[in-house]
Amino acid sequence: MQITYDFSGKIVLVTGGGSGIGRASSEAFGAAGAIVAVADISEKNGLETVEAIRAAGGTAEFIFVDVSNEESVKAMIKSVVDTFGTLDIAHNNAGIEGNHIPLAELPSDNWRQVIDVDLTSVFYCLKAEIPEMMKNGGGAIVNTASASGLIGGYNLSVYTAAKHGVIGLTKAAAMDYANKGIRINSICPGAIDTPFIAALPKPLIDRVTFATPMDRLGQPREIAQSVLWLCSDASSYVTGHSLSVDGGVVLGG
């Protein structure tokens, strides 16, 4: 079932909007009437999302960003505000997985890269987004964490550390701004059918599917629906929460 939300006139930023979960979230916000800033390091993918939103009758623009670079994140927010006048909602979603190898074999530069793209990026985004939302008297932010932010995973040390960090950062940020009208939550997808998962070896995909009580991968739109709920007035008393949308995968912990 698809719940319909009304984000008419709201200015929404989605990072990693060029693919997978970010594309689904961008399209869902666009279909709900929002004006969507689709930010991505891939111009080609980002423009495809923009075209899809426009083809469905919505409004969207592409903004280039490398979320691991603070100056690039500041430029992204400036571009959103210069183009649309303000920022109401942000989905900080861009991320990479890193190498699938035991911790002792993980190259330190891969550690730094994944921490930069998956965790430090969320700090940069929050730092740049919150002052703009304060000017409006409030806003809503969702950070994409992962089931790997709640439980450990084999051969996934840096990704697991980064996503646990996203959940901690979300809680701390939510406390700082709870009485200033800004709600900040995280979403914890299980294995979702996106290019991110498709890039994994088939035996690994089979293993995560087997570990999922619902016996299937999730669809990006199932994450998008939860992101929209967390950004809507339907969740007006929810902040600092980490919402599992994972077919039950963390239940066996």
**Position 222: which residue type?**
E
| Interface residue with ligand NAD, options 5, 7, 10, 18 (CB under 6 A) | 18
As measured in angstroms, the least distance from the Cβ of 114 to ligand NAD is 9
* Rounded Cα gap, residues 243 and 174, in angstroms: 14
- Asked if residue 11 lies in contact with residue 17, where contact means CB atoms within 8 angstroms, the answer is no
Binding to ligand NAD, residues 84-143 (CB under 6 A): 93-96, 117
From residue 176, alpha-carbon distances to 49, 70, 213, 217 in Å are 33, 21, 36, 35
**Closest alpha carbon to 52 in 34, 32, 26:** 26
Check binding of 61 to ligand NAD (CB under 6 A). Answer: no
Binding of ligand NAD by 12 (CB under 6 A) = no
> Judged by CB under 6 A, how many residues of this single chain contact ligand NAD?
29
User: How many beta carbons lie within 10 A of that of residue 86, not counting itself?
Assistant: 13
Pairing of strands 59-64, 182-189: unpaired
Instruction: Give the side-chain half-sphere CA count within 13 A for 201.
Output: 6
Smallest gap from residue 199 Cβ to ligand NAD (A): 8
Which residue among the candidates 5, 159, 177, 237 is catalytic per the annotation? 159
Q: Give least dist CB 207 to ligand NAD, A.
A: 13
Q: Pick one of 14, 21, 77, 90: the residue that binds ligand NAD (CB under 6 A).
A: 21
Q: Which of 61, 66, 132, 222 binds ligand NAD (CB under 6 A)?
A: 66
Euclidean distance between CA atoms 40 and 38, whole angstroms: 7
From candidates 158, 197, 227, 249, binder to ligand NAD by CB under 6 A: 197
- Annotated active-site residue 177? The verdict is no
Assess contact for 153 and 159: CB atoms under 8 A.
yes
247 binds ligand NAD (CB under 6 A): no
Smallest distance from the beta carbon of 25 to ligand NAD, in angstroms?
Answer: 9
* Nearest Cα residue to 31 out of 47, 45, 62, 10: 10
Please answer whether residues 185 and 227 qualify as being in contact, where contact means their C-beta atoms are separated by less than 8 angstroms. Answer: no
Tokens of 17: 């909007």
Ranges within 213-232 binding ligand NAD (CB under 6 A): none
Helices (H), 103-156: 108-114, 121-135
If the CB atoms of residues 134 and 200 are measured against ligand NAD, the closer one turns out to be 200
Q: Give Cα 155 to chain centroid, integer Å.
A: 23
Q: Which stretch binds ligand NAD (CB under 6 A): 19-27, 77-85, 106-114, 173-181?
A: 19-27
Shortest CB 7 distance to ligand NAD, Å: 20
Active-site annotation, residues: 159
Residues at the site binding ligand NAD, with contacts judged by CB under 6 A? 15-16, 18-22, 40-42, 45, 65-68, 93-96, 117, 144, 146, 189, 191-192, 194-197
